[in-house]
Amino acid sequence: MPYLGSEETLKELKRALSNPSIQADRLRYRNVVLRVIRLMTQGLDVSPLFMEMVKASASVDMVQKKLLYLYMCTYAPLKPDLALLAINTLRKDCADSNPMVRGLALRNMCNLRMPGITEYIQQPVLAGLRDKASYVRRVAVLGCAKMQNLQPEAEIDGAVVNELYGLLRDPDPVVMVNCLRALEEMLKAEGGVVINKPIAHHLLNRLKELDSWGQSDTLTFLLRYEPRDEAELFDILNLLDGHLQSSHGAVATATLRLFLRLAAAHPAVQADALSRAQGPLLAMCASASRELRFAALCHVRRLLRSVATQYAAHYKRFFCSYSEPGYIRLCKMDILVELVNDENVALVLEELRAYCTDVLPELAQAAIFAIGRIGQMYSERCLGILVSLLGLRQEHITSAVLQTFRDLVWLCPQCTTAVCRAVASLEDSIQDSEGKQALIWLLGAHGDKISSAPYVLEDYIDSLKAELSSLVKLELLTATVRLFLSRPAETQDMMGRLLHYCIEEEGDMCVRDRALLYYSLLLCGVEDIRRILGGPTTDASLGVIAGHSEEPVDSWAPHFNTLELLLARGCWNAALSKGGFHSVACRVEGYPLGGLERDGNTLHTTPKDGPHSSLSLSLEPALSPESFERHWLELDVSHVGPVTCPWPHCLPEALQAALQLVQIQVLAFSRPQSLPWKAYLYSHGDGTLILAEVLRDSTQGADHLQLTMKQVPRDKHVLQGFVAVLKSALQALSRDTS
């Protein structure tokens, strides 16, 4: 940020720096330099002082030297010509008798990020690799990586790579780990450092000498090693065993990840490792550092999907405490829901009940939702609590309770009577739109059991003009029409008013279209509309959510001990849109009509084989049907082939929406039941345009698709990635709709 009078300050500093009497006084000189660095940290551009600062670097004062190196590394890219002046001093220091001076100079010389520096640093770096002081070797090894990074297009020097592989045997453990890190960066294009059997065993044997940071890095590198046979595998696991319970969380989790990876074929070993790593994880869940606590809780939350029973005995550790911030408490509530079993359900519910009156409305609501989720298994106990909460007559509580009621009625139809009784005796009005939607849905779906249903709905219809949320209006339309089916006499009049208002006066297109749709349906006759709206009251496929089965360990093990677990799923996709992993998320609207619209599960698939298959597709720039046709006719076929993939039985619109989420646009498709069925898709990936035709033919099996693709410019990897994304999306979709 610019400071007032910054030019004055700069001038004054410049004068001070070139003042011989200050230069002669070590302390005063250093103080002036300190002031410059302080300004630099604050964000002021002090690069005009570069010349004077370079001169100051010739000092013998180590503290001053370090400060000046910091300055030079920051501004070298801005003033490359002046920075070259410093090179001589640095090179001289690289030959100093004191290893500390040598290392310092070499490190900072490699940190000067400017063009043309490599020719100056190459020789000192190579000399540094053979230096007798380990401190210098550490710096030199990473210097090789920095050098490579400065000129990425240059060819990798095989001799350096060999030397670095050789230095893995260096007596200094930090040099060894630095070699791994440097090689990983330099050989990125070839898939990183190679961990073969001798290297892996060497690393495992030296693990004990490393500090915790080196250990966790090395353990991560070992992830890519594949043991030859079982005997070797178990030898390795034996060696690693002690680290599972390391007091350093990072080491314990890195070891656990390696265990899960190596023992992928031995579920019993995995389970054993998970139970033994429980100690460190639980300790981190209670750590004094709330950030560490949060990270550990996120990991436990994911672990629980596979091994809930192991942690069930420790449920009390996940009780929230008064002093914890909201995000930790939310995480703990999630975990508590997973841990519930017959023994602890009473205590967990009592605890959650206490959170329902929390000062923060978000937390109170989260606690109510948590009780609702437990209610899917222990519905009676939870209903009692939820109904009693309605007695508090707090708006946010009532709203959350109604939302859980809606879900409970949907998932556990046996609750319906009790819920209807509670809703019937509800007195307060709800203000927030989520709560209103839930209440209206309940009134519409079970209006036959709630005597006051038409009157409550009528109130909403009468105050429709003041309603802002179109979602509430949509819900109201559906509910009113459904209530009309069960109680026509009481509802007919107000339904007429509602439809009239929504068709004639409503500004929101969705609401108007929905009203028109219902109007036309009503014209078809009551029986038809009953058949359409009646639908299933409970959807079997939603059972997945209710009694969710245990996930295999491998579904999350690759992400264990990575940042991904700390972010919500959706955010991660957005966060990494630049590259790296690419996961497919699709959300399917199962029922296109009315209140039956429910979110399907959100499904994710991640291509397994690492960064190579990474691909980011995008819909931009959009392609018009005409230009699609033109391209299609002009281009040659890049790839034709069958794809075996279960076909999702859903409406083409749902398919279109789902594929759009994975950045594939469906431009045109045949009518739903026609055979052969065709669809035309396009997407952009890594600078290429991909056009595709999907053909579903009755002659081949039901799961057989013929895929014709055209691409410009051609890139086989992108094409493969596209097929993978398409396949996983279709798979996810068919799993969801089957």
Residues between 34 and 73 that touch other proteins (CB under 8 A): 34, 37-38, 41-43, 62-63, 66-67, 70
Nearest distance from C-beta of residue 288 to other proteins, angstroms: 7
Nearer to other proteins, 95 or 286 (CB): 286
Pair 594, 533: CB distance under 8 Å = yes
Buried b or exposed e, range 409-420, using 16+ CB within 10 angstroms: bbbbeebbebbb
* Candidate residues 157, 163, 172, 358; the one interacting with other proteins per rule CB under 8 A: 358
Nearer to other proteins, 145 or 645 (CB): 145
Pair 435, 403: CB distance under 8 Å = yes
Nearer to other proteins, 366 or 707 (CB): 366
CA distances from 300 to 4, 280, 307 (A): 51, 11, 10
Nearest distance from C-beta of residue 139 to other proteins, angstroms: 7
| Number of residues lying near other proteins (CB under 8 A) | 98
Q: Could you say which residues in the range 263-282 bind other proteins, by CB under 8 A? A: 279-280
Nearest distance from C-beta of residue 613 to other proteins, angstroms: 15
Rounded to whole angstroms, the Cα distance separating 639 from 696 reads 17
The strand ranges marked E within 508-638 are: 584-586, 603-605, 617-618
Q: Could you say which residues in the range 118-137 bind other proteins, by CB under 8 A? A: none
Nearer to other proteins, 326 or 676 (CB): 326
203 near other proteins, judged by CB under 8 A: no
Nearer to other proteins, 430 or 681 (CB): 430
Residues contacting residue 357 through CB under 8 Å, at least 6 positions apart: 364, 392, 394, 397
Q: Could you say which residues in the range 541-600 bind other proteins, by CB under 8 A? A: 561-567, 571, 574-581
Mutual angle of helices 379-390 and 361-375, in 10-degree steps: 150
Residues contacting residue 382 through CB under 8 Å, at least 6 positions apart: 349, 371, 372, 374, 375, 408
Nearest distance from C-beta of residue 286 to other proteins, angstroms: 5
* Candidate residues 142, 339, 603, 681; the one interacting with other proteins per rule CB under 8 A: 142
Nearest distance from C-beta of residue 42 to other proteins, angstroms: 6
* Candidate residues 49, 195, 263, 331; the one interacting with other proteins per rule CB under 8 A: 331
Nearer to other proteins, 22 or 566 (CB): 566
673 near other proteins, judged by CB under 8 A: no
Tokens of 645: 């993939």
Tokens of 438: 């839930």
* Candidate residues 21, 97, 238, 321; the one interacting with other proteins per rule CB under 8 A: 321
* Candidate residues 6, 9, 74, 275; the one interacting with other proteins per rule CB under 8 A: 74
Mutual angle of helices 453-462 and 470-486, in 10-degree steps: 140
Q: Is the peptide bond before 267 cis (omega within 30 degrees of 0)?
A: no
From 259-267, 347-355, 368-376, 525-533, span contacting other proteins (CB under 8 A): 347-355
Considering only CA atoms, which of 142, 206, 212 is closest in space to residue 180?
142
721 near other proteins, judged by CB under 8 A: no
Nearest distance from C-beta of residue 570 to other proteins, angstroms: 12
Residue 196, SS3 per DSSP: coil
183 near other proteins, judged by CB under 8 A: no
Q: Could you say which residues in the range 605-634 bind other proteins, by CB under 8 A? A: none
In one-letter notation, the amino acid at residue 317 is R
174 near other proteins, judged by CB under 8 A: yes
The strand ranges marked E within 185-258 are: none
Pair 618, 684: CB distance under 8 Å = yes
* Candidate residues 14, 146, 436, 473; the one interacting with other proteins per rule CB under 8 A: 146
**Residues 232-251 as x/- pattern, contact with other proteins by CB under 8 A:** -------------xxxxxx-
* Candidate residues 26, 91, 113, 735; the one interacting with other proteins per rule CB under 8 A: 113
107 near other proteins, judged by CB under 8 A: yes
346 near other proteins, judged by CB under 8 A: no
253 near other proteins, judged by CB under 8 A: yes
- The DSSP secondary structure of 656-674, one letter per residue, reads HHHHHHTT-EEEEE--TT-
Q: Could you say which residues in the range 388-447 bind other proteins, by CB under 8 A? A: 391-394, 397
Q: Which long-range contacts (CB under 8 A, 24 or more apart) does 140-143 make?
A: 140/106, 141/167, 141/175, 141/178, 141/179, 141/182, 142/107, 142/110, 142/178, 142/181, 142/182, 143/106, 143/107, 143/110
Q: Could you say which residues in the range 8-37 bind other proteins, by CB under 8 A? A: 34, 37
Residue 412, SS3 per DSSP: coil
- Chain centre distance of CA 714: 31
Q: Could you say which residues in the range 82-101 bind other proteins, by CB under 8 A? A: 100
* Residue bearing tokens 């990020």: 113
Nearer to other proteins, 351 or 715 (CB): 351
From 259-267, 328-336, 520-528, 695-703, span contacting other proteins (CB under 8 A): 328-336
Nearest distance from C-beta of residue 434 to other proteins, angstroms: 15
Rounded to whole angstroms, the Cα distance separating 462 from 83 reads 76
178 near other proteins, judged by CB under 8 A: yes
Q: Is the peptide bond before 676 cis (omega within 30 degrees of 0)?
A: yes
From 143-151, 376-384, 417-425, 727-735, span contacting other proteins (CB under 8 A): 143-151
* Candidate residues 166, 326, 534, 552; the one interacting with other proteins per rule CB under 8 A: 326
The strand pairing partners of 690, in sequence order, are 683, 711
Rounded to whole angstroms, the Cα distance separating 732 from 659 reads 11
Nearer to other proteins, 103 or 595 (CB): 103
In one-letter notation, the amino acid at residue 75 is Y
Nearer to other proteins, 292 or 503 (CB): 292
Nearer to other proteins, 122 or 245 (CB): 245
Nearer to other proteins, 389 or 726 (CB): 389
223 near other proteins, judged by CB under 8 A: no
Rounded to whole angstroms, the Cα distance separating 257 from 326 reads 29
Nearest distance from C-beta of residue 485 to other proteins, angstroms: 36
291 near other proteins, judged by CB under 8 A: yes
Buried b or exposed e, range 351-387, using 16+ CB within 10 angstroms: bbbebbebeeeebbbbbbbbbbbbbbbbbeebbebbb
* Candidate residues 56, 236, 284, 664; the one interacting with other proteins per rule CB under 8 A: 284
Nearer to other proteins, 208 or 649 (CB): 208
